[in-house]
């Protein structure tokens, strides 16, 4: 769907000609669901027949006869569930996001191109959602995220689905036009950013390399005015970035450190985002088993998240500065590849014994964190990476693992994730875990054994952030196969993109000290 095809319309909904006109019905305990007067007769009948009570994803689909007052070809009444209860704001928002996702799903099943949505009346929503800007935004996000598809490599028309996705969405808006438009604008920025992150991730290893990260960033900078920089292999050699270069040794595609900068002159603070851009992880000499190895094309989802968050930052121009760094390479084996036992020296001089070449993500993040902090002197730094299989054992596919040295930053990340429907769960970090990565021959080693693999990976990174407030998000369990929801497709989820956008939007000076 094209961004400019999502608009508002000020007109009586019944009079609008469209493929599908959507109303929402909010579930009320032991009562008829609350809905627009225009569809009350149908909803009342369905409710009395026990067919419909406004539960999430419940539907009434009907076809107005020719001489009906309604001009639409089809009308959908969609249950949202009980959004009017004392719901947590994040949960309530996610119900609306899921309702939006359902709209995309029904549109696909009836092949509707043009869809018109009537927003649920704010007074029926939870106090947490009384703001129509916010509720319209959540719905719009859900529709856009739910309409996502990745079919560019399906060449034969037979295999291609004959429905290319939504053509246009209009939100009926007879009051509060200005703020609803604002909500929809923001939703477009965040949802399309997440869709772009999904696109990058769904590209296979042969079509998405460090060069593609660089080209994408360069184009984004040219289009938006962001600053762009790319450290090429030669420069990284001169700078002593021994981690990313070690991982890159087995590859024929040179590594790159791709940087996007949003640094307004009157900023008082800067947020640094670092994302693992590992475009294919074979494990290197410590090679992975072949079953499922194809999924390691997704090992760049952290890089995609930070880069695509910059897309929204560039459009929304916040007060706070934001910089994204993507250390990008693949991890291959071959005669030039690093060996287990090799000792490398990171950008900040810390030496590391590479016990397992498959624990490569921390090696590139280490250089990116140390250099980024030295160069940009950020107020805080957040990194995100598909870093450990252990996080999937611990949290499954439902929470992103979070490790941090700063409680205030944890609160901010938790809040941003909750509002995005992307929950995080904090894990501890202390000396006991740091001990696990002590090496006999170097300052540290790159694995700490099986126990607490997610935390020892974070312990490794902690050697490169100094005292800077830092939060590490391990998205190995959530970047793909994320919690099953109607607006989350199979494959790449785009996780963390919208969390970072929310974090930037809600940033207050002096949030972390």
Residue from 361, 448, 469, 489 that binds Zn ion (CB under 5 A)? 361
Asked if 330 interacts with Zn ion (CB under 5 A), we say no
For residue 4, with 0-12 CB atoms within 10 Å meaning exposed, 13-18 middle and 19 or more buried, which class applies?
exposed
CA dist list (Å): 238 to 213, 233, 275, 347: 22, 9, 22, 10
Cβ 453 to ligand BES shortest distance, Å:
6
- The CB density around residue 122, as the number of other CB atoms within 10 Å, is 17
- The count of chain residues that interact with Zn ion, using the rule CB under 5 A, is 4
CA dist list (Å): 312 to 27, 82, 135, 189, 388: 34, 31, 19, 5, 28
- The count of chain residues that interact with ligand BES, using the rule CB under 6 A, is 15
Cβ 283 to Mn ion shortest distance, Å:
6
Do residues 219 and 258 touch, judged by C-beta distance below 8 A? Answer: no
Active site residues: 288, 362
Do residues 475 and 302 touch, judged by C-beta distance below 8 A? Answer: yes
> Could you give the CA distance from residue 277 to residue 287 in angstroms, rounded to a whole number?
19
Q: Which stretch binds Zn ion (CB under 5 A): 115-123, 196-204, 265-273, 357-365?
A: 357-365
Cβ 328 to ligand BES shortest distance, Å:
14
Cβ 473 to ligand BES shortest distance, Å:
13
Q: What is the dihedral of CA 263, 266, 268, 271, to 10 degrees?
A: -20
Residue from 358, 367, 383, 414 that binds ligand BES (CB under 6 A)? 358
Q: What residues make contact with Mn ion under the rule CB under 5 A? A: 281, 358, 360
> Could you give the CA distance from residue 90 to residue 128 in angstroms, rounded to a whole number?
9
Cβ 354 to Mn ion shortest distance, Å:
12
Asked if 42 interacts with ligand BES (CB under 6 A), we say no
- The CB density around residue 93, as the number of other CB atoms within 10 Å, is 26
Q: Which does 365 bind (CB under 5 to 8 A by kind): Zn ion, ligand BES, Mn ion, none?
A: none
Q: Which of residues 20 and 359 has its CB atom nearest to ligand BES in the complex? A: 359
Asked if 281 interacts with ligand BES (CB under 6 A), we say yes
> Could you give the CA distance from residue 236 to residue 255 in angstroms, rounded to a whole number?
9
Cβ 395 to Mn ion shortest distance, Å:
19
| Touching ligand BES, residues 435-474 (CB under 6 A) | 447, 453
Asked if 299 interacts with Zn ion (CB under 5 A), we say yes
For residue 306, with 0-12 CB atoms within 10 Å meaning exposed, 13-18 middle and 19 or more buried, which class applies?
buried
Cβ 201 to ligand BES shortest distance, Å:
12
Q: Which does 476 bind (CB under 5 to 8 A by kind): Zn ion, ligand BES, Mn ion, none?
A: ligand BES
Output DSSP code: residue 480.
B
> Could you give the CA distance from residue 421 to residue 435 in angstroms, rounded to a whole number?
35
Q: Which stretch binds ligand BES (CB under 6 A): 122-130, 146-154, 310-318, 381-389?
A: 381-389
Q: Which stretch binds ligand BES (CB under 6 A): 7-15, 21-29, 78-86, 388-396?
A: 388-396
Rounded (10°) angle between helices 301-316 and 497-505: 30
The distance from CA 282 to its chain's CA centroid, rounded to whole angstroms, is 24
The binding track of 259-298 with respect to Zn ion, each residue x by CB under 5 A or -, is -------------------x--x-----------------
> Could you give the CA distance from residue 146 to residue 140 in angstroms, rounded to a whole number?
10
Residue from 14, 19, 353, 360 that binds ligand BES (CB under 6 A)? 360
Q: Which does 284 bind (CB under 5 to 8 A by kind): Zn ion, ligand BES, Mn ion, none?
A: none
Output DSSP code: residue 205.
T
- The CB density around residue 292, as the number of other CB atoms within 10 Å, is 8
> Could you give the CA distance from residue 383 to residue 433 in angstroms, rounded to a whole number?
19
Q: Which of residues 203 and 360 has its CB atom nearest to ligand BES in the complex? A: 360
Q: Which does 356 bind (CB under 5 to 8 A by kind): Mn ion, ligand BES, Zn ion, none?
A: ligand BES
Q: Which stretch binds ligand BES (CB under 6 A): 225-233, 358-366, 434-442, 484-492?
A: 358-366
Asked if 243 interacts with Zn ion (CB under 5 A), we say no
Binding site for ligand BES (CB under 6 A): 281, 299, 356, 358-361, 386-390, 447, 453, 476
């Amino acid at each position: 769907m094209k961004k400019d095809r999502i608009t508002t319309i000020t007109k009586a909904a019944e009079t609008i000609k469209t493929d599908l006109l959507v109303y929402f019905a909010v579930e009320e305990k032991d009562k008829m669901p609350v809905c627009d007067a225009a569809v009350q007769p149908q909803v009342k009948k369905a409710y009395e027949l026990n067919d419909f009570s406004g539960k999430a994803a419940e539907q009434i689909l009907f076809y107005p006869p020719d001489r009906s007052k309604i001009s639409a070809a089809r009308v959908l009444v969609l249950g949202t569930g009980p959004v009017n209860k004392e719901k947590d704001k994040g949960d309530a928002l996610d119900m609306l996001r899921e309702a939006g996702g359902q709209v995309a799903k029904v549109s696909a099943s009836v092949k509707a191109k043009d869809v018109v949505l009537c927003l649920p009346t704010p007074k029926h929503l939870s106090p947490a959602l009384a703001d129509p800007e916010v509720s319209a935004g959540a719905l719009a996000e859900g529709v856009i995220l739910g309409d996502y598809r990745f079919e560019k490599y399906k060449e034969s028309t037979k295999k291609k689905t004959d429905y290319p996705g939504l053509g246009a969405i209009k939100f009926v808006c007879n009051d509060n036009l200005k703020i609803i438009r604002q909500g929809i604008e923001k939703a477009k920025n965040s949802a399309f950013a997440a869709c772009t992150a999904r696109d990058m991730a769904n590209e296979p290893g042969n079509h998405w390399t460090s060069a593609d990260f660089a080209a994408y960033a360069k184009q984004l900078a040219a289009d938006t005015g962001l600053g762009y920089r790319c450290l090429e292999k030669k420069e990284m050699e001169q700078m002593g970035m021994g981690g990313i270069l070690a991982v890159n040794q087995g590859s024929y595609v040179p590594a790159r450190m791709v940087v996007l900068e949003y640094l307004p002159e009157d900023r008082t603070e800067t947020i640094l985002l670092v994302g693992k851009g590992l475009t294919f992880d074979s494990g290197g000499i410590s090679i992975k088993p072949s079953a499922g190895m194809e999924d390691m094309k997704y090992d760049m989802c952290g890089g995609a998240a930070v880069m695509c968050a910059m897309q929204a930052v560039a459009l929304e121009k916040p007060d706070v500065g934001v910089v994204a760094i993507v250390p990008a390479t693949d991890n291959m084996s071959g005669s030039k590849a690093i060996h287990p036992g090799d000792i490398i020296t990171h950008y900040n001089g810390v030496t590391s014994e590479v016990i397992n070449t498959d624990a490569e993500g921390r090696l590139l993040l280490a250089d990116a964190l140390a250099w980024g902090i030295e160069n940009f002197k950020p107020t805080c730094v957040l990194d995100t990476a598909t870093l450990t299989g252990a996080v999937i054992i611990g949290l499954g596919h439902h929470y992103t693992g979070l490790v941090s040295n700063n409680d205030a930053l944890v609160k901010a990340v938790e809040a941003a994730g909750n509002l995005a429907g992307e929950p995080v769960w904090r894990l501890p970090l202390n000396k006991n875990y740091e001990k696990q990565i002590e090496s006999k021959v170097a300052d540290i080693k790159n694995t700490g054994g099986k126990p607490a693999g997610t935390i020892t990976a974070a312990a490794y990174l902690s050697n490169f952030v100094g005292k800077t407030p830092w939060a590490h998000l391990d998205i190995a369990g959530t970047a793909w196969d994320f919690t099953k929801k109607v607006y989350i497709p199979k494959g790449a989820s785009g996780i963390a993109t919208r969390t970072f956008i929310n974090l930037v939007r809600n940033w207050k000076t002096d949030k972390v000290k």
